[in-house]
Structure 1
Amino acid sequence: MTNLFPVVQLQQQTPNKIELQLDISPDIAYFDGHFPQAPVLAGVSQLHWVVQYCKQYFPQLVEVASVEVLKFQIMIRPQDRLLLSLELSAANTTLFSYIKQGEKVASGRLKWTLKNDE
């Protein structure tokens, strides 16, 4: 079975904010071929995780309408431990950030369609 996600531990949960600890295993499929001698997690994979966890913890979110102020600042490598913060800042907006050892790794803002918008 292909491993696509990190090991996740819920750190904090309120109605509008989730913090997850992510342990990045070297056997995550997204590392295959990216790059063989120095594997890094591609930005599209990081964004994919954000979308999946937002949908899991904020079930009113349906589809991403837009991605804004997306920044990748530090590479994510196998064996990293990250804190992923997801915050519902408005009815259809989430802010996210990945933090590694106190430093911001990546961040952005997602606009969503909501269940009642369908």
Structure 2
Amino acid sequence: MIDLSYAPTELPQVLDLVSVDSASAELTLQIQPALVWFQGHFPQTPILPGVVQLNWVRIVAARLWQEHAHWLSTASQLEAIKFQQVIRPGDTVQLHMQLQPDRRRVQFTYFSDAKVFASGRLVAAL
């Protein structure tokens, strides 16, 4: 079993690990209103900051593919990043990740049945 334990105020609740193999994973995430990232980030209409979404990809990918954690945990370059819809407290979203170890990158998409929230690639320097 993969350890996806986390600090409950910093990472979303993983409702389901839909699929995972050596190159792809899909998780269902519950975005709890108590996450620290919502505090003070537009108090009247809280949204999840994009930088937090990027960091979650890095954290979850490094835990799922531990053999690549040395570069996944430090991936710092971004490619084709698009934030198309905001993620709000209480949302349930899917996170799909595609690992490309030969290119030292992970492609990701946050989505639900009706829309794409964000997508792009995190890349580690060679």
Shorter-chain TM-score above 0.5: yes
**Aligned-residue offset at 1:58:** 1.6
| Cα displacement (A) at 1:14 | 1.4
The 10-residue stretch of structure 1 (79-88 or 98-107) with the greater mean CA deviation from structure 2: 98-107
Taking the aligned partners of 1:103 and 1:36, their CA distance within structure 2 comes to 24
1:90 CA displacement: 4.4
Deviations 1:56-97 (A, max 9, x none): 112214221411111100000011000000101342121000
Q: Extract unaligned runs of 5+ from structure 1.
A: none
Number of positions where the alignment pairs a residue of Structure 1 with one of Structure 2: 114
- What is the TM-score when the length of structure 1 is the normalising length? 0.88
CA distance in 2, matches of 1:93, 1:46: 16
State the shift of 1:101 in Å. 2.5
In the alignment, the residues of structure 2 paired with residue 82 and residue 37 of structure 1 have an alpha-carbon distance, to the nearest angstrom, of: 22
Indicate which of 71, 75, 83 corresponds to 1:72.
83
Query: How much is the aligned-residue C-alpha RMSD, in angstroms?
Result: 1.7
2:93 alignment partner, one of 74, 78, 82: 82
After TM superposition, which residue ranges in structure 1, 4 or more long, deviate above 3 angstroms?
A: none
How high is the TM-score relative to the length of structure 2?
A: 0.83
Aligned match of 2:31 in 20, 24, 38? Answer: 24
TM superposition shift of 1:36: 0.8
Look up the equivalent residue of 1:107 and give its one-letter code. S
Q: 1:13 maps to which residue? A: 20
The answer to which structure has the higher strand fraction is 1
Structure 2 stretches lacking a partner, 5+ long: 1-6
Q: Percent identity, aligned pairs only?
A: 34
Contact 1:85 1:98 in 2 (8 A): yes
Match of 2:123 in 1: 111
